[in-house]
Amino acid sequence: MKLDPRWGSHLPVLIRMVELTDGPVLEMGMGAFSTPILHWMCFDRGRTLVSYDNDDGYFNTSRRLQCDFHHIYLVNDWNMADIERPWGLVLIDHSPAERRIEDIKRLAHYAQYIVVHDTEPENDKHYRYSEIFPLFKLRFDYTNALPNTTVLSNR
């Protein structure tokens, strides 16, 4: 598993959104940055955290954090991920790239807030986020760091 420090560019937004929200947290795509941060922030706040990934490496590294409040799942088919239920906060940072908009559509009316990583315009050819942005009433773009991060909400 390769690691690039720039992959943590969503942390300022993610940390702030954990502080501002309540309810269960969903992580779509585990990582060396988001998973431990979400784990300890949810632990400290008594929040349920559910993490999904389709990558054996991220799953095997992260599953050491599995406990009563943190449920960790390996999926072969993202359609089988049990995500269509209420969430206080969702992180979208999984692969393949084209799958992200499908899961954002699934979550649009279940999540209070969705934090989406890799949203800079030049990446739209890969992620096609421009197709799902109109589904949301509110949008905030964090452009202080690359890759960019966007927060979406219908609340």
Residue range 34-76, pLDDT digits in tens:
999 999 999 999 999 999 999 999 999 999 999 999 999 999 9
Q: Which residue has the tokens 């942390």?
A: 11
What pLDDT band is residue 8 in, cutting at 50, 70 and 90? Answer: confident
**Can you give the pLDDT at residue 76?**
97
Q: What is the pLDDT of residue 87?
A: 98
Question: 85 vs 30, 52, 109, 117, CA distance in Å?
Answer: 20, 15, 9, 21
Cβ proximity of 91 and 115 under 8 Å: yes
Tokens for 124?
A: 């739209």
pTM: 0.96
* All structural domains of the chain: 25-145 (3.40.50.720)
Q: What is the DSSP string of 6-41?
A: GGGTTHHHHHHHHHH--S-EEEES--TTHHHHHHHH
Distance CA 33, CA 42 (A): 14
